[in-house]
Amino acid sequence: MKLDPFTLEIIKNAFVVANEEMFHAWARTAKSPVIYEVLDFAVAITDKDGNLIAEAPGVPGFSGVLDFAVKEVVQKWGKKIMPGDVIVNNIPYYSGTHLNDVTLVAPIFYKDELIGYTATKGHWTEVGGMAFGSWNPHSTEIYQEGIQLPCVRIYKNGEPNKDIIDTIIINSRLPDYTFGDMESQVASMRVATKRVLSLVDKYGLDTVLFAMKKILEESERYALLKLRELPKGEFIAEDYIDSAIAGQEEPARIKVRVRVTDNEFIADFSGSSKQVRSPINSPYPGTVAGVKEVFLAITDPHMTPNSGLFRPIKVIAPEGSIFNPTRPAPTSTYWEAMACATDLVWKALAPYVPNKLTAGHFVSIIATIVGGVNDRTGQPFAIVEPQPGGWGAGYDMDGTSGLVACGDGETYIASSEVYEKNFPILVERYMLNTEEGTGHGKYRGGFGVIREYRILNSQALVTIQVGRREYPPWGVNGGYNGPGNKVILERRGQKTEVRRLTAEILSRGDLISIRTSGGGGWGDPLDRDPKLVLEDLKNQLITTEIAENIYGVVINANTLQINWEKTKEKRNQLKKARGRF
Amino acid sequence: MTYRVGIDIGGAFTDLVAYSDDTGELVWVKVETTPQDLSLGILNSIRQSKIDFSKVSMIMHGQTLVINSIVTKEGAKVGLLTTSGHRDILYLQRANRRDIYNFRYVKPTPFVPRYLTFEVRERIAGDGSVMVPLNSEDVKKATLELLKENVESICVSFLNSYIDPTHEIKAGNVIREILKSENRNDVHLTLSHEISREWGEYERTNTAVLNAFVKPKWIKYLNKLDSEIKQLGFNGVFYLMLSNGGVSLLNFIKEYPIYTIESGPVAGVIGGIAIAEIIHERNIIVLDGGSTTTKASLVEDLVPKVSSEYYVGRSRYEAGYPLKVPVIEIAEIGNGGTSVAWIDEIGRLRVGPKAMGSYPGPACYGRGGDKPTVTDAYVVNRLINPNFLLGGTLRINRELAINAIKPIAERFNVSVEEAAEGIIKLANENAANVIRLISVQKGYDPREFTLIVHGGSGPMFAPFIAEELEINKIVIPPIPPGVFSAWGMLLTDVRHDFIATNVLLLNESELEKINSMYEELDKKIERVFRQEGFEEGLIIYHSADMRYKGQEHTVKVPIKTGRIQSEDINEIVEKFHEYHERAYNFRLPNNPIEIVNFHSTGIIKVSKPILKKEVVKGSPEEAVKEIREIFLNGKYEKVPVYDKFKLPTDKKVFGMSIIEDPTSTILILGTQEFYKDEYGNIIIKRR
């Protein structure tokens, strides 16, 4: 087919624009802050086979996960799907995350011809289950995590399917929010459908279908081009997920074998732990999305993702494993294992792709809820938030401090002033975590944070899950590991470290102290430029003891001068002691 | 005979526009900006304008000193005092990873390093109560340490000072005393609450720190400029352009340079609003097509959207630095007349964001630039007249443009003209996206707006964009594209905006508190105007950022000025529902409503120059200077080229045309018609 290449380019861009409009339409009209503030959602347009033509994930953990849900619809509904239908699906094993993330899929028909789908997935605040907000760190079976919606019609021929909707609503503790989010989700999909159809009107059906095909082909070509810049071979990494969050006595062993060839990028998780009776399991599509995230990081982080770009990726995860759990495995805090899938592939490749990857970061989102009923107003309140932490050092730079984990992206940590105005808590300290420190190295990891909430209410409930405590962020090429994440509860002056809580009761004056880990270091600390060590000391990020004993840099604490002679001596001495010659 | 003068310093040029109050005559001058000493460029422009400055009644001045100082990080060494336990505000920021797949993402570097940040024991709680009184010893110790470190500027920002600034004020007094006793009055002081009374400690602290960062340089600049223009005999009023679309007097703005951060671009919006008023349009989008970027701002009912959601250096992949100061909302993308067309790794044609700027500029300028730009594409297809550009002083070389585009044509196996058209199409698409950003994505339908277009490349893009977005009316003002912002400054009123946060339910029982919030803001406005020497003519407007209780997002709603009575509440509630529904598509009829931010605007109107009317007689045919063969829609076509000055007033012309004057080219598509009105505006409509 002959089409001028520039018009084709404009049509291709139009899919991205249509998709962005869908994204903003939902963000603008959703009722739950988790959608419009946290951007815990994703939208996509696919072709009729479920290949992503354009996608816009609000968080990186949703990259390339929507095609699974559409393909499930294609498989289950096939030719039975009608114009005006909207299919709902939240079964993690097929759609990728947890029951809170509800996927809607709607066909795009031009006259009688099915030309593609719009698909959206987002975190509904409430879908029932054993705990308020549905997700919680203690479920042992999916049946405790909320209502399951197995790829059924929520709209038929453009009309709401009241039978299903009523069933969903009655299962929700916040029916208004649930219904509102659903309505805005459906409305946003109509926006994109309208745009795609107007493209067909303007350029003709054949042209638009041709453009969709070209998008996939070109992106695949680009992915292969980028793949060829990567080192080839097999890269292996192993790690563990802390026993405390795996809900068992042993830590969960995880393993990946990454094979990079000229045409393929294969992540094989064989040998990883079986699924656990704790909700950290990452459903297969989630695991795949986790791998896609690293793939984007090491190829081109600014590429508009679509299925063509992801074609070289193959993910192997044995059924029944922590990376491909089967019913009735719980998955409501799936992000823990999913982030580990990303982290593991990252770890395998970091030394070989230093221009794109850093040492390990604090990984665990440390999802936190602090809530209750405000004594003063009688109204319920709830803080629901991820925590920021330290990122790993690069081969040529220190890690970044106080950043959200890889599963989060354009996610904003709330202002202390906003919290203190709205909730009966005091943010006593929010600062860089120089107390536990970071992974030292030629370049050091970024610092985690200390975030402390003092309860100013008669009672408050805390839910939290702390990963990466025993198996901390990893260093590269002799860089030190980070210290690991840590959360301490202080009740009536009594301090206890906690790993996993659901709705634990705290009283007035109690303190929750969240101390996230610094990132891993890169290279031997003895190779660090002494001036950078001095800088860190001057900025009170490290102590003179650390400067001397870890970095071998002798500094006069009063004058802040480096003693170069003693430094040379000290470094030689440390090198010998550490077996470096 | 008196003049008023607008002076706008931009990155490349310093523009001066003078308006004679008596004759209505406009004089404009463009000289090169002198980055080493900005006042030099101003003096050059004054000299070139030949205006007698003893006859100038007022100067309105916009500049890029403040933003450049921040972007290039050339400013003062700043020390910061924070609340104990919150030392790392500038390092933590909001912890977002804006470049989400980039695992080597680095946050913006703070403007104050950790070792120059000191904690002070003091604490005001979220309800305004004092939990820990201010420890003056801590303040004293910190100040002395900072002086030892030779800081040039000190900033104080305490937690919850937006509710109660007492501790900041006290700390400020302690610092001032020390500066006095140490004889260090050259060190400047900034207190966060003086700049912003909104919540959000990172944003407010960063704003105050950036003010402190620029302040020493700013004061030096203003003092020098002030004395230099006085030497030229100027004894009128010296106004400075603010980012809120107003002007303020020198003595006020000396302390708060940060309020002028976007002073140039916002003046263009003010100019656009003035044009709209003249032609009786109320809802407009002002489009500024520059040489490296395209900017757009949406104006509803002639009121520019002023908010404090501004960032310096923010992009799709960079978090930037937030500033809680009132700024007219303007969106910007990297697509302009000198944007470069290139082929990416997999062989797709792309345009921008890289641009050639004015030097060396597009290939056709013949200054050594060999990259194909959007301007080259226009030249190749003869949409731009090779015989004059840049006021006729710069000759254009079409051969060079053809050579630059040839590789693209060869790569796609099309003619050079077809390749050029491809570049034009993609650039137009980019420019259309900036309008989608401010309209469709915010719940506005662009078809309900009139497009007012300025800038060098704007009149070339606009007709295509209007087609794409189905915008019915385009207006291209008679002001030369390069000096539109400077002209806009002449039309600016004296204006101050103050915004304060306090979360209050909108109901009878809170009415007292609500009214007292506005009263306090109004008092502050009156005080500032009095300080500036204004006694009369102050008009105050109120608005509020409101939300449904339980939701985070707010919408700005205008509210009647003066005391709110209980019978007014329903009206405000109804208006909020309406605004909320437009922005977010839903309303929650029985949900309680909260006010989060109280916004008060004070304006003193300045009498404004109006455009001169001039009726040109004759027929359009007489204005045709040539019939040119241009390449558009895949083929060569003969198109009449009109001399803009000779075009008769109010005579409609249909179909594809080109209008030229010495400084700009306007293209009209086959689906459009146009006429020139009595002010010299070119009005283009869809048929």
With DSSP H G I counted as helix, E B as strand and the rest as coil, what are the percentages for chain A, rounded to 5? Answer: 35, 25, 40
Residue B392: predicted pLDDT: 54
Q: Which residue from B429, B441, B586 is facing A24, i.e. has the nearest CB?
A: B441
CB contact under 8 A, A36 and B345: no
* B295 and B349 housed in the same domain: no
Give burial (CB, 10 Å; 0-12/13-18/19+) of B591.
middle
The domain that holds B312 is classified in CATH as 3.30.420.40
Of A216, A237, A271, at which residue does a domain stop?
A216
- Based on the domain organization, do B291 and B344 belong to the same domain? no
The pLDDT assigned to B389 comes to 56
Sheet-wide strand order for A380-385: A380-385, A368-373, A459-465, A500-507
Give the whole-angstrom CA distance, residue A516 versus residue A402: 9
Question: How many Å lie between the alpha carbon of B269 and the closest alpha carbon of chain A?
Answer: 25
Q: Do B443 and A28 touch (CB under 8 A)?
A: yes
Q: Do A411 and B552 touch (CB under 8 A)?
A: no
Q: Report yes or no on whether pTM surpasses 0.90.
A: yes
Cβ-Cβ pairs closer than 8 A, A with B, add up to 194
Structure tokens at B391: 């006021």
Q: Please give the backbone phi and psi of residue A421, each rounded to the nearest 5 degrees, phi first.
A: -75, -40
- Of A266, A243, A245, A244, the C-alpha closest to A256 is A266
- What does the pLDDT read at residue B295? 94
For residue A59, tell me if it sits in a domain.
yes
Cβ–Cβ below 8 Å for A417 and B349: no
- Number of domains within chain B: 6
- Nearest Cα residue in chain A from B439: A21
Q: What is the reported pLDDT for B629?
A: 95
* Coil/strand/helix, residue B23: coil
CB contact under 8 A, A403 and B583: no
The answer to whether position B213 is within a domain reads no
The answer to whether residues B533 and B654 belong to one domain is no
Separation between Cα atoms, residue A445 and residue A454, nearest integer Å: 29
3-class secondary structure, A111: coil
CB within 8 Å of A525: residues ≥ 6 apart: A440, A441, A442, A444, A478, A479, A480, A550, A551, A552
Task: Using DSSP bridges, classify how beta strands B538-548 and B555-559 pair: parallel, antiparallel or unpaired.
Answer: antiparallel
In a mutagenesis test of the B interface, which of A198, A356, A358, A420 is the best target, namely the one with the most B β-carbons within 10 Å? Answer: A420
Residues B133 and B47 in one domain: no
User: Are A449 and A426 in a shared domain?
Assistant: yes
Q: Which of B159, B179, B205 marks a domain boundary?
A: B205
With contacts defined as CB-CB under 8 Å, which chain A residues touch B345?
222, 225
Nearest alpha-carbon partner for B301 in B267, B329, B277: B277
Taking the C-alpha atoms of residue B273 and residue B298, their distance in angstroms, rounded to an integer, is 10
Question: Is residue A229 included in any domain, yes or no?
Answer: no
Are residue B101 and residue B167 in the same domain, yes or no? yes
Mutate which of B84, B86, B101, B105 to disrupt the A interface (most A C-beta within 10 Å)? B101
pLDDT in tens, B291-325: 889 999 999 999 999 999 999 999 889 999 999 99
Same domain, yes or no: B90 and B195: yes
φ, ψ (nearest 5 deg) of residue B465:
-60, -45
Residue A256 lies in a domain: no
Spatial separation of the C-alpha atoms in residues A384 and A414, rounded to whole Å: 10
Q: Give the mean pLDDT of A78-93.
A: 96
pLDDT value for B21? 83
Split at pLDDT 50, 70, 90, the class of A28 is confident
pLDDT single digits (tens) B196-216? 999 999 999 999 999 999 999
Quick one: pLDDT at residue A579? 84
For residue B417, which residues of chain A lie inside 8 Å, CB to CB? none
Predicted pLDDT at B661: 86
Among candidates B115, B440, B634 on the partner chain, residue whose Cβ is nearest the Cβ of A540: B115
CA distance A121 to A97: 10
Q: Which of A431, A433, A443, A456 has the highest number of chain B CBs within 10 A, making it the mutation to test binding with B?
A: A431
CB burial readout B90-112, b (16+ within 10 A) else e: bbbbbbbbbbbbbbbbbbbebbb
Which of A413-417, A479-483, B386-390 is least confident?
B386-390
**Which of A55-64, A493-502, B130-139, B263-272 bottoms out in mean pLDDT, i.e. has the lowest?**
A55-64
Q: Is B160 within 8 Å of A417 when comparing Cβ atoms?
A: yes
Q: What mean pLDDT comes out for the span B273-280?
A: 94
List pLDDT tens digits, range A376-396. Answer: 989 888 888 999 999 999 999
Lowest mean pLDDT among A31-40, B126-135, B244-253: A31-40
Among B517, B511, B523, smallest CA distance to B543 is for B517
Q: How far apart are CA A43 and CA A106, in angstroms?
A: 12
B159, A426: Cβ pair inside 8 Å? Answer: no
Domain termination site, one of A480, A496, A523: A523
Domain of residue B503, CATH code = 3.30.1490
Which residues of chain B lie closer than 8 angstroms to A413, CB-CB? 92, 94-96
Say how many domains are in chain A. Answer: 3
- What is the average pLDDT across A251-262? 98
**In chain A, which residues have their Cβ closer than 8 Å to the Cβ of B412?**
5
What is the pLDDT at residue A35? 82
Distance from CA of A30 to the nearest CA of B (A): 8
pLDDT at B464: 93
Residues A557 and A533 in one domain: yes
ipTM: 0.95
Ordered DSSP codes for A46-66: EETTS-EEEEEESSGGGTT-H
Name the minimum distance, in Å, from the CA of A417 to any CA of chain B: 6
CA gap B19, B664 in Å, rounded: 21
User: A345 in a domain, yes or no?
Assistant: no
Q: Give rounded-to-5 percent helix, strand, coil for chain B.
A: 35, 30, 35
Name the domain boundary from B440, B474, B489: B489
Residues B578 and B526 in one domain: yes
CB contact under 8 A, A404 and B96: yes
Domain annotation covers residue B613: no
Instruction: Name the amino acid, one letter, at B275.
Output: I
Residue B270 to residue B305: CA distance in whole angstroms: 11
CA–CA distance, B579 with B557 (Å, rounded to integer) = 7
B228 within a domain of the structure (yes/no)? no
Q: Do B498 and B598 share a domain, yes or no?
A: yes
SS3 call for B631:
strand
Nearest to B94 among A7, A413, A538 (CB): A413
Same domain, B120 and B168: yes
Q: Domain range for residue A434?
A: 358-523
CB-CB neighbors (< 8 A) of B96 in chain A: 403-404, 409-413
Give residue A194's pLDDT. Answer: 92
Report yes or no on B132 lying in a domain.
yes
Of B466, B489, B512, the one marking the end of a domain is B489
CA distance, residue B562 to nearest chain A CA (Å): 27
Measured between beta carbons, the chain A residues lying within 8 angstroms of B102 are 297, 301-302
A510 min Cα distance to partner chain B (Å): 17
Taking the CA of residue A215 and the nearest CA in chain B, the distance in Å comes to 11
Determine, yes or no, domain membership for B13.
Answer: yes
Q: Does residue A546 share a domain with residue A416?
A: no
Q: B199 and A406 in contact by Cβ < 8 A?
A: no
| Token duo for residue B590 | 């029985």
Same domain, B567 and B668: no
- Kindly report the nearest CA distance between residue B73 and chain A, in angstroms: 20
Which residue, A437, A433, A442, A426, is CA-closest to A512? A426
Question: Quick one: closest CA in A to B555, which residue?
Answer: A28
Considering only CB atoms, B348 lies closest to which of A7, A9, A422, namely A9
Percentage of residues in chain A with pLDDT exceeding 90?
86
Q: Do A36 and B104 touch (CB under 8 A)?
A: no
Co-location of B291 and B440 in the same domain: yes
- What integer pLDDT is reported at residue A18 of this predicted model? 92
Mark yes or no for CB contact B101/A301 under 8 Å: yes
* C-alpha torsion sign, points B635, B636, B642, B643: positive
Nearest to A552 by CA among A537, A536, A571, A569: A571
CA distance A487 to A366: 9
Taking the CA of residue B142 as centre, how many other CA atoms within 13 Å lie in the half-sphere pointing to its CB?
29
Residue A457's φ and ψ, nearest 5 degrees, are -120, 160
Of A218, A293, A430, the CB nearest to B348: A218
Is the pLDDT score of A15 beyond 60? yes
- Residues of B in Cβ contact (< 8 Å) with A28: 441-443, 583-585
DSSP state of A321: B
Cβ distance A29 to B584 less than 8 Å, yes or no, reads: yes
Q: Are residues B296 and B445 in the same domain?
A: yes
A174 & A198 share domain: yes
* Cα dist from B88 to A99, B27, B111, whole Å: 37, 51, 12
- Chain B neighbors of A409, CB-CB under 8 A: 96-98, 100
Nearest to A312 by CA among A226, A430, A435, A405: A226
The total of other beta-carbon atoms located within 10 Å of residue A340's CB is 31
Q: Is B162 in contact with A417 (Cβ distance < 8 A)?
A: yes
Within this chain, do residues A41 and A71 fall inside the same structural domain, yes or no?
Answer: yes
In a domain, B259, yes or no: no
Residue A215: pLDDT band with limits 50, 70, 90? very high
Task: Return the half-sphere exposure (C-beta side, CA atoms, 13 A cut-off) of residue B367.
Answer: 10
Residue A2: pLDDT above 60?
A: no
Secondary element (H or E) of residue B217: helix B201-231
Q: How far is Cα of residue A401 from the mean position of the Cα atoms in its chain?
A: 18
Domain hosting B135: range is 76-205
**Is residue A322 one of the residues assigned to a domain?**
no
Non-local CB neighbours of A534 within 8 Å, separated by 6+ positions: A547, A553, A555, A560, A562
pLDDT at A355 over 90: yes
Per-residue pLDDT at A205:
96
Q: Supply the pLDDT for residue B202.
A: 98
Residues of B in contact with A449 (CB under 8 A): 92, 95
CA atoms within 13 A of residue A196's CA, in its CB half-sphere: 33
Shortest distance, CA A143 to any CA of chain B (angstroms): 30
Lowest-pLDDT range of A23-27, A211-215, A254-258, A365-369 = A23-27
Phi-psi region of B263 (alpha: psi -120 to 50; beta: other; left: phi over 0): alpha
pLDDT tens profile B98-137: 999 999 999 999 999 999 999 999 999 999 999 999 999 9
Q: How far is A412 from chain B (nearest CA, A)?
A: 5
Q: Nearest CA to CA, how far is B102 from chain A (Å)?
A: 5
To test the contact with chain B by mutation, choose from A6, A303, A397 the residue with the greatest count of B C-beta atoms within 10 A, namely A6
pLDDT at A176: 81
Half-sphere exposure of B216 (CA within 13 A, CB side): 17
Residue B681, pLDDT score: 96
> Quick one: which of A280, A273, A305 has its CA closest to A292?
A305
B399 burial via Cβ count (<10 Å: 0-12, 13-18, 19+): middle
